[in-house]
Structure 1
Amino acid sequence: MCPGSRQNLRAGGAVSESKPQVVLGVSGGIAAYKACELLRRLTESGHDVRVVPTASALHFVGAATWSALSGNPVSAEVWDDVHEVPHVRIGQTADLVVVAPATADTLAKAAHGLAGDLLTNTLLTARCPVVFAPAMHTEMWEHPATQENVATLRRRGAVVIEPAVGRLTGVDTGKGRLPDPGEIFEVCRRVLARGVTAPDLAGRHVVVSAGGTREPLDPVRFLGNRSSGKQGYALARTAAARGARVTLVAANTGLPDPAGVDVVPVGTAVQLREAVLKAAADADAVVMAAAVADFRPAAYAEGKIKKREGKEPEPVALVRNPDVLAELSADRARPGQVVVGFAAETDDVLANGRDKLRRKGCDLLVVNEVGERRTFGSEENEAVVLGADGSETPVPHGPKEALADTVWDLVVPRLA
């Protein structure tokens, strides 16, 4: 049975499976129109969605729109259909409640247990996972009152994803933009799939590196690798869905920012080292999924290196890049910090993996076999996760999210 779905008995004793019940709460912000896209993704993926807007939200998107898109009745008031006790029943029967956008006002009411409308009543009666996708001006998000309310909700087990950085209402730009609805959907999907009410990474800060570094040779050429960054992004998404504050150091990926994740773009191995060490200063765990170049050109040509007829090119001298994984492992930024490395091997996979685990000094090492048609750029992966304690956890071929969840499953019990 799909996680979160319910079983109903048909006549004659046959068991039927109903759709997962999702409540989509919509607060009164300009980003309310974006919730229509989230609603579409939820319904098209097989979820039964009940939209519960606030009265303010209905100034931006009308009840008729929500009803037509969801196929369910829409109300913002506890006094409608009183005989069905909607202010209790909606929350009681939900498999997931997601509030997008969640304004500062809604976050404050949820944190303080106020119940003045149908949405806040639903939040009080829900015993399922709850996800908030905040959207507001930067000053409102950064205000101590909002930050305390967010901390309270996270402490109680809600997933409050970080807002995105970008254009806000009017000419303002900053942190507070509603994340992309497709990325909010991915968080919801992961939360539903796990079927766990209390996120096990709540209150934790994790750092994930992703992608492949590029080492410039001249203004148009570089030394690089085949890493797409998809495994690192899967690690970031799953960590956010499990309640963590996530910093993603992304090297040349071209992928959309995951919802609720602070993304730090980098290019070279030296830039990646600087960004990871800075972010790791207060991190509970660091997962080095990026493919970091071992070497870089010893000299950078200011002009494009020209091809000369009848002459072979000059050899390219290389120098070593810093070993970021070994540095993180040897000099932990805080006691109990968990460090996870990745090893892409082409032969003697486990033997080389065990040797790398010993040399790098990390707590866990994800070892996978790579090649022309393996792993890089794929949506799937398979690996063995080696532990410094001698453990081996095989992860069969499957979605990269499955490997990501296995990594976090192994990280959580090792956290101080």
Structure 2
Amino acid sequence: MLSRVLIGITGGIAAYKVCEVISTLFKQGVEVRVMLTKSAREFITPLSVATLSRHQAYTDEDFWQSTNSRPLHIELGEWADILVIAPLTANTLAKLAYGMADNLLTNTVLASKCPILIAPAMNTDMWEQIAVQRNWQMLLADTRYHGMGTASGLLACDRVGKGRMAEPLEIVTYIQSLLYTQGKRDLLGKRILISTGGTREFLDPVRFIGNPSTGKMGLALAQAALHRGANVTLVYGVADWEAPVEVKAVPVVSAEEMRTAMLGELGNADIIIMSAAVADVKPRDFSTEKLAKKALPESLPLEVVIDIIAEIGNSKQAHQKLIGFAAQTGDIVTPALEKLQRKNLDGIVANPIDKENSGFGSDRNQAIYLDKQGNRLEIPLCSKLEMAHYIFDFLGSSS
């Protein structure tokens, strides 16, 4: 059965960004229906979203002049698996906070029971108004609503500050999570600490020992945990992506920097997931100036990097769960089980890096999850976000 996403667009300049959300969802095989408020039509046309969604776009004229046997807002509210409102303006935010219903969108909200994803966008001064923040908190207190924070940057009014709507890819990712979880917040109140990405161990200012990790798996874990209600801290190596604004993001470069950051955050965590590809060795000597090619040693003296996950395994508290990753070729289970025992882990994700469309750099992954109780979960080839949800499902079932 196809997933069904109903999108409500309100009157903000960020409305044009929602076209990418609609197009991406359609390409992923999602059924999409779109509603536009009267103000939204000042920024984007019904024809544009109808073309992208391959379905009629609904406006207030359809609401008031509907000749359907059943009211349109009732049909749409019952049809949707997920309702998305983006951009969410201050005006519509206020209506939703107080349960008002004076157009097709707000009536459909009240006639629906599905999870609602809201992505606000407005001028910084508007966003920071006491009344707006009060309305925002009122909505978030309703468990149906899942809010995306506003980002900082250059706004359409030329102001630089908070108020930018979340980017289309972030919205699509959140929708994917909600379609998977149906809006459950089983990690609400949990504090999750995640490491991801590769570390770089420098020989001189331009040369280093590293690996091809992109940190995408850890990012997916952070997104999935956030979407399920957790407070997330993400310690990450050099990456070409940005962490969600709601996540506490700690960028690092070397293994020592990652160790310092992880140990500094450890006391606040309930679940620690070490998905980072941390260096095992580093150059023994570091030159503060670039070495000439002729000055490079014929053999490079190395020294062992401290094992961060083993150190955490030896110092974690009784209430804390520590999950590791084992990127392997060939037999992935035997070395993963050995690592699970030797490093005092509660669980380990063994993933093959020698199979197509999985492992380093890929948007997809597959794995076998093993825990210290002897439980085993085989995760089929899927998106890294879906794999992250598999992991959290398994963690919850084995608690």
- TM-score grouping bracket, smaller chain normalisation: 0.7 to 0.9
What code does the residue aligned with 1:301 have?
S
Partner of 1:129: 115
User: 1:26 touches 1:52 (CA, 8 Å); kept in 2?
Assistant: yes
Distance 1:182 1:379, change over 3 A: closer
User: 2:234 touches 2:247 (CA, 8 Å); kept in 1?
Assistant: yes
Distance 1:370 1:154, change over 3 A: farther
Q: 1: distance between equivalents of 2:346 and 2:51?
A: 51
Paired residue secondary structure (2:172): helix
Q: 2: distance between equivalents of 1:282 and 1:55?
A: 47
Partner of 1:410: 394
- Whether 2:325 is the aligned partner of 1:325: answer no
Farther-moved stretch of structure 1 (203-212 vs 134-143)? 134-143
What code does the residue aligned with 1:360 have?
K
What code does the residue aligned with 2:215 have?
G
Partner of 1:10: none
Farther-moved stretch of structure 1 (271-280 vs 120-129)? 271-280
Distance 1:52 1:201, change over 3 A: farther
Partner of 1:23: 6
TM-score normalised to structure 1 length: 0.80
Q: 2: distance between equivalents of 1:320 and 1:358?
A: 20
Partner of 2:178: 191
Runs of 5+ consecutive residues of structure 1 not aligned to the other structure: 5-19
Distance 1:119 1:283, change over 3 A: farther
Farther-moved stretch of structure 1 (349-358 vs 369-378)? 369-378
Partner of 2:219: 233
Percent identity over the alignment is: 38
Runs of 5+ consecutive residues of structure 2 not aligned to the other structure: none
1:284 is displaced (CA, Å) by 4.0
Q: How does 1:199-218 map to 2 (within 5 A)?
A: 199-218=185-204
Distance 1:68 1:392, change over 3 A: closer
Q: Deviations over 1:245-292 (max 9, x none)?
A: 544333123246568655443222233334445555544433221111
Q: 1: distance between equivalents of 2:124 and 2:345?
A: 37
What code does the residue aligned with 1:39 have?
I
Q: How does 1:246-257 map to 2 (within 5 A)?
A: 246-255=232-241, 257=243
Paired residue secondary structure (1:80): helix
Q: Deviations over 1:279-318 (max 9, x none)?
A: 5554443322111123333432111122328x95363342
What code does the residue aligned with 1:182 have?
L
TM-score normalised to structure 2 length: 0.83
Partner of 2:87: 101
From 263, 267, 271, the counterpart of 1:285:
271
Partner of 2:291: 305
Distance 1:351 1:398, change over 3 A: same
Q: 1: distance between equivalents of 2:90 and 2:191?
A: 23
**Matched residues, number:** 394
Partner of 2:371: 387
Partner of 1:295: 281
- Whether 2:301 is the aligned partner of 1:316: answer yes
Q: Deviations over 1:213-258 (max 9, x none)?
A: 1111111101111222232233233334434454433312324656
Partner of 1:364: 347
Distance 1:354 1:186, change over 3 A: same
Q: How does 1:160-171 map to 2 (within 5 A)?
A: 160-171=147-158
What code does the residue aligned with 1:313 have?
E
User: 1:161 touches 1:240 (CA, 8 Å); kept in 2?
Assistant: no
Q: 1: distance between equivalents of 2:124 and 2:396?
A: 32
- The alignment yields a C-alpha RMSD, in angstroms, of 3.4
Paired residue secondary structure (2:224): helix
Distance 1:147 1:352, change over 3 A: farther
Q: Deviations over 1:302-336 (max 9, x none)?
A: 11122328x95363342523x33344444458x74
Q: Deviations over 1:28-82 (max 9, x none)?
A: 3321221122122233444443322334333333445444544314314785225
Farther-moved stretch of structure 1 (202-211 vs 87-96)? 202-211
